[in-house]
Amino acid sequence: MTMSGQDRNGQSPRYQPITSSSDAQNLIAAFSNSMTQLSDLLEREADLVRSGKLKAAGELASVKQEMAGTYVNLMLETKAQVEKLGQYAPVQVQKLRKQHHLFKANLQVNMAVIATAHEIAEDLMRQTARAVEKTNRPQLYGAPMMPQSARAADGACGIAFDQSL
User: Per residue in 108-152, pLDDT tens?
Assistant: 988 888 888 888 878 888 888 787 777 766 666 555 555 555 544
3 state DSSP class of 137: coil
28 has a pLDDT exceeding 80? yes
Backbone φ and ψ for 26, nearest 5 degrees, come out as -65, -45
Give residue 155's pLDDT band: very low, low, confident or very high (50, 70, 90).
low
Give residue 76's pLDDT band: very low, low, confident or very high (50, 70, 90).
very high
Query: Among 123, 118, 97, which Cα is nearest to 46's?
Result: 118
Find the range with the poorest average confidence among 45-54, 63-72, 141-150: 141-150
Is the pTM higher than 0.75? no
In this predicted model, what pLDDT tens digit does every residue of 133-142 receive, in sequence order? 777 666 665 5
20 has a pLDDT exceeding 60? yes
The domain locations on the chain are 21-133
Give the pLDDT of residue 161. 45
Give the pLDDT of residue 133. 75
Is residue 18 within 8 A of residue 24, CB to CB? The reply is yes
Give the pLDDT of residue 24. 94
Q: How many angstroms separate the CA atoms of 1 and 8, rounded?
A: 6
Q: What residues contact residue 91 under an 8 Å CB cut-off, 6+ apart?
A: none
